[in-house]
Amino acid sequence: MPVTSFDKKLLFRLLGYELDDKALESQTSKMGLSVEEQTKDELVVELPSNRPDLLGTVGFARMLKNFMHRSKKYVYKLSSQEPIMDIIVGAKVKKVRPAISGLVVNDVKFDDASLKDVINFTEKLCDTYGRKRMKISIGMHNLEVIKAPLHYDVYGDEEFVPLNGSKSMKYSTIVAEHDKGLAYGHITRSKTKTGHVALKDEQGTLALIPIINSERTKVTTGTRNLFIDVTGTSDYAVGKTADILASLFLDLGCAVKPVTIVNGEKRSIVPEMESARIEVPVFEAEREIGVAIGYTNVLSLVNKMGYEGVTVGESARVNVPAYRADVLNEQDVIEDIAIAYGYDYIRPLLITATQQGGLERSTLLNKKASHAMAGLGFIEMLNSFLTNEKANFDDMRLQRPDSYVKVKNSVTVSLTMMRTWLIPSLLKNISLSKNDRMPQRIFEVDLAFNLWGDVVSEAYHLAAVETGPKANFNDIKASFNSLNTLLDSDLEIQAADNPSFIEGRCARITLGGKTLGFMGEIHPEVLSKFGIEEPTIALEIDLAGLQA
């Protein structure tokens, strides 16, 4: 989940009053956000990934103000409905990055702190909610130098001066060499081999999307009027982002005006600033949370969370502010009501209906097998299920089979497959125990993974290993005999060959003719591979087969 730091000075300016550290932290956690750190100047907060509107100080201040009943601003509307300019969407961009929105902001009064905060906010939003600009990217421009209409399309290799650059560069050069090009050039490259997505006005390029803006339209603390573009792959997310930005500038006291997106014949005015209406039956909220709330209280609680609300019949009807991207239905509103009510005040309530508890059959057998092994003097080990071909097959003198469960993308190079049996894991434990007292007896009861055709089998195995100067076949057979009695099973053994074991000192373990495992003396070549110095004996049984 994203972690963001808020500028406390700016926060208090927006709130209109100051809070001491303790009060700020306590209010923040009451709203359901966890404070990671607080300094004199900063409040670092972990945010839920579904609240892009909170990624900047302005959005956080808005929430805090409502929560503390210091504001009654629930509805966000544009300053005028008259679109300022047209953005004409070309045909070619629809397959590459189809969604675009925009807005115009007048009467901007940036100082260093608010400009920095807004820029941090857009970057954080593009990084998290925008999936590193793949889904959403945002560009802020100085409106006064723009000559409308704007054109949004896929273009050939044109050139312009990129932001903070001094000379004109070709699109292709920016993609190949500029650090932003290297970071974000791949996003459109995967959908158009040679073209470049750009936003242009009558005078040339405003932005190479989603990579970098132009130096010409750069925003500074002196900029009074802004144009902001939002582009991406999802109409919904792009639309919500424009709504969030519009709300943000409205809170900063600016005038926010729409633009027209021209898509062939279709003309739409954005940002939409649509406010969804949801009815929450009060009894339903009470029933889900498990507390009595009442009709009057419920409105105060939804207000606290930033919703406008009225009671209609037995329900609270709320307007979801346009900047909320996460409210899908009444359940989301009920959660907000619960947060406003305070989790600390919800009294725990016992479920009185009873049910007979019980364990899985496999658990019962595993427990029995483990207790038997512990009683025989073996120590239980717990090992990773992931391994590699060398340890699981090669070092055990086994041919690699055609099919077994393979991992595609492990960041740890030694983890490439799921283990097919347990003895190699236990041999590794022994190899880590060279300095420990002999003899050593260990066991494991856990899963082994096999692939029969395209059917995955996850089966519990029991494996045991004993090492020491005097370990021999009869010792493991003695343990096996005892286990057979304790588990009340009818396992049988026959002489067998298995490359992991010494020839003539290995037996197959069967049940009704079906092979369930092996036991014997581990082959010295295997011992050398694992760096084990003493004779070692082992057994492994498929417990699932025992239960079947």
Partner 1 sequence: MHKYEAAVLGVLKDGKSLTLDQLAERSGLKRDALLWAIESLSPQGLIKVTKAETESAELSEEAKGYAKNSLPEQALLDRLGKGTIKIAALKDEREMIGLQWLKRKGYAVIKDGVLELAPAGAKALGAGVPEDRILKELAADPGAFRKVSSGNKNSVEELVKRGLILVKKTSAVESLAITKEGMSAAAAGREEGDVIDALDKSMIARGTWQGRRFKKYDVNVPVEAADAGRLHPLRGLINEIKDIYTDLGFREMSGPIIEPAFWSFDSLFVPQDHPARTVMDTFYLSNPANLSVDKAEMRKVKKAHEKAYHEKWSEAVASQSILRTHGTSVSARYLSQITNELTANKNAYQLPVKLFGISRVFRNENIDFKHLENFYQMDGIIIGHRLTLSNLFDMLIRVYDSLGLKVRFVPAYFPFVEPGVEIQAEKDGKTLELGGAGMIRREIVGAQRRKLTVLAWGCGIERILLLRDKSLAGIPELYNNSVGWARKRPLV
Subset of 252-311 contacting partner 1 (CB under 8 A): 287-291
Q: Which is nearer to partner 1, 1 or 478 (CB)?
A: 1
CA–CA distance, 361 with 270 (Å, rounded to integer): 60
Among 39, 221, 300, 403, the residue binding partner 1 under the rule CB under 8 A is 403
Among 116, 192, 385, 484, the residue binding partner 1 under the rule CB under 8 A is 385
Among 39, 80, 300, 384, the residue binding partner 1 under the rule CB under 8 A is 384
CA–CA distance, 403 with 406 (Å, rounded to integer): 9
Q: Which is nearer to partner 1, 194 or 411 (CB)?
A: 411
Give just the sign of the alpha carbon dihedral 412, 414, 417, 418: negative
Among 57, 247, 429, 536, the residue binding partner 1 under the rule CB under 8 A is 429
Among 161, 398, 447, 496, the residue binding partner 1 under the rule CB under 8 A is 447
Among 82, 292, 348, 512, the residue binding partner 1 under the rule CB under 8 A is 348
Asked if residues 164 and 180 have their Cβ atoms less than 8 Å apart, the reply is: no
CA–CA distance, 45 with 3 (Å, rounded to integer): 6
Among the listed ranges 57-65, 115-123, 451-459, 533-541, the one in contact with partner 1 (CB under 8 A) is 451-459
Q: Smallest distance from the beta carbon of 381 to partner 1, in angstroms? A: 5
Q: Smallest distance from the beta carbon of 116 to partner 1, in angstroms? A: 26
CA–CA distance, 449 with 405 (Å, rounded to integer): 7
Subset of 6-45 contacting partner 1 (CB under 8 A): 29, 31-32, 34
Asked if residues 64 and 242 have their Cβ atoms less than 8 Å apart, the reply is: no
Q: Which is nearer to partner 1, 9 or 132 (CB)?
A: 132
Q: Smallest distance from the beta carbon of 450 to partner 1, in angstroms? A: 11
Among the listed ranges 153-161, 194-202, 266-274, 342-350, the one in contact with partner 1 (CB under 8 A) is 342-350
> Using the 8-state DSSP alphabet, how is residue 314 labeled?
T
Residue 1 touches partner 1, criterion: CB under 8 A: yes
Residue 406 touches partner 1, criterion: CB under 8 A: yes
Asked if residues 252 and 114 have their Cβ atoms less than 8 Å apart, the reply is: yes
Cis ω before 271 (30° cut-off from 0) = yes
Residue 465 buriedness (CB in 10 A; 0-12 / 13-18 / 19+): buried
Q: Which is nearer to partner 1, 296 or 409 (CB)?
A: 409
Among 451, 496, 502, 511, the residue binding partner 1 under the rule CB under 8 A is 451
Among 329, 481, 485, 515, the residue binding partner 1 under the rule CB under 8 A is 329
Q: Which is nearer to partner 1, 203 or 363 (CB)?
A: 363
CA–CA distance, 36 with 217 (Å, rounded to integer): 37
Q: Smallest distance from the beta carbon of 429 to partner 1, in angstroms? A: 5
CA–CA distance, 228 with 103 (Å, rounded to integer): 5
Binding characters for partner 1, 217-246, by CB under 8 A (x = yes): -----------------xxxx---------
Residue 190 touches partner 1, criterion: CB under 8 A: no
Residue 463 touches partner 1, criterion: CB under 8 A: no
Residue 351 touches partner 1, criterion: CB under 8 A: yes
Q: Smallest distance from the beta carbon of 519 to partner 1, in angstroms? A: 18
Residue 312 buriedness (CB in 10 A; 0-12 / 13-18 / 19+): exposed
Structural Rg of the chain based on CA atoms: 33
- For residue 259, the cross-strand partners are 270
List CB contacts of 230: < 8 A, sequence separation 6 or more.
100, 101, 102, 136, 137, 138, 238, 241, 242, 245
Subset of 491-530 contacting partner 1 (CB under 8 A): none
Binding residue count for partner 1, defined by CB under 8 A: 94
Tokens representing 372 are 């038997």
Asked if residues 537 and 502 have their Cβ atoms less than 8 Å apart, the reply is: no
Q: Which is nearer to partner 1, 17 or 359 (CB)?
A: 359
Q: Which is nearer to partner 1, 167 or 361 (CB)?
A: 361
Residue 395 has φ and ψ, to the nearest 5°, of -65, -20
Q: Smallest distance from the beta carbon of 157 to partner 1, in angstroms? A: 30
Q: In this structure, are strands 501-511 and 492-495 parallel, antiparallel, or unpaired?
A: antiparallel
Q: Which is nearer to partner 1, 82 or 344 (CB)?
A: 344
Among 222, 357, 469, 512, the residue binding partner 1 under the rule CB under 8 A is 357
Subset of 55-114 contacting partner 1 (CB under 8 A): none
Q: Tell which phi-psi region holds residue 253, choosing left (phi > 0), alpha (psi between -120 and 50) or beta.
A: left
Of 253, 244, 159, 167, give the one whose Cα is nearest residue 208.
Answer: 159
